[in-house]
């Protein structure tokens, strides 16, 4: 299981939201590029980057900042937010981005997932953001009746790189990762799952290690790294320990 630091970008700055609420935003750094360099120096193997403005607008809004970030480090990055068409997918993947995350597009245009995977094997990630088990889209501003597990199963044979599963209710709250819901999703599909939302301490890493065999590929950590509640080096060390 790998530890993946998160960099959420709003208005060109590195921020964190509480439960995806754009009215509850905390700015942690003015320069996302420097933040990425810091995580690289501390041993990150992969960095999760989200264009928050783009996720609501439906088109990239911080693309140039993201490309500068990607080119400033040697660590691969996965990018989400405002990626709704093949043109945007190609733009990122042909410009130093290792993988793109499609969330809203998976519901609004299901065929784009299959087309994207065919064009860019092992570079497409499905983003499932759920509130009480139901998928939310448009930067979490629009709730749907779609069940998270059903959405994952729909793309079971599409050769996706991974699924990023985020529990919206816990995201940015430091209340602990939702291991139960993450396990249920991981057991329901053969696609590797990346957990996200609510990671608060090393104990959350340990809890995820206990269900790693279900198909947990990694965990995204945001606010806890920025506040110092979790030390990145310690989290990476914990995740690398042999399973008992």
Instruction: Determine whether 180 is an active site residue.
Output: no
Taking the C-alpha atoms of residue 187 and residue 182, their distance in angstroms, rounded to an integer, is 9
Catalytic residue chosen out of the listed positions 8, 51, 53, 204? 8
Taking the C-alpha atoms of residue 170 and residue 49, their distance in angstroms, rounded to an integer, is 19
| Residues 199/43, Cβ–Cβ less than 8 Å | no
Instruction: Determine whether 190 is an active site residue.
Output: no
**Contacts (Cβ under 8 Å, ≥6 apart) of 118:** none
Catalytic residue chosen out of the listed positions 51, 53, 129, 171? 129
Q: Which helix (H) or strand (E) holds 110?
A: helix 110-119
129 φ/ψ angles, rounded to the nearest 5 degrees? -105, 115
95 φ/ψ angles, rounded to the nearest 5 degrees? -135, 60
Cβ burial 7-18 (10 Å sphere, 16+ → b, else e)? bbbbeebbbbbe
Enzyme catalytic residues: 8, 129
């Amino acid at each position: 299981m790998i530890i993946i630091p998160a960099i959420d970008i709003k208005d060109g700055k590195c921020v964190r939201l509480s439960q995806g609420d754009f009215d509850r935003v905390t700015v942690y750094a003015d320069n996302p590029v420097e933040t990425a360099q810091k995580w690289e120096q501390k041993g990150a193997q992969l960095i999760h980057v989200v264009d928050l403005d783009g996720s609501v607008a439906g088109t990239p809004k911080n693309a140039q900042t993201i490309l500068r970030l990607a080119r400033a480090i040697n660590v691969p990055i996965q990018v989400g937010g405002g990626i709704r068409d093949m043109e945007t997918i190609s733009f990122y993947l042909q410009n130093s981005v290792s993988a793109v995350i499609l969330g809203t597009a998976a519901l609004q245009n299901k065929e784009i997932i299959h087309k994207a995977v065919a064009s860019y094997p092992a570079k497409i990630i499905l983003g499932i953001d759920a509130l009480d088990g139901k998928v939310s889209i448009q930067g979490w501003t629009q709730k749907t009746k779609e069940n998270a597990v059903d959405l994952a199963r729909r793309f079971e044979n599409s050769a996706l790189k991974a699924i990023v599963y985020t529990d919206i209710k816990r995201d940015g709250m430091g209340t602990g990762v939702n291991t139960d819901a993450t396990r249920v999703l991981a057991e329901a599909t053969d696609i590797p799952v990346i957990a996200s939302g609510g990671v608060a301490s090393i104990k959350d890493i340990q809890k995820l290690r206990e269900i790693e065999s279900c198909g947990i590929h990694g965990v995204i950590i945001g606010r806890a790294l920025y506040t110092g509640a979790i030390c990145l080096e310690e989290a990476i060390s914990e995740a690398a320990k042999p399973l008992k």
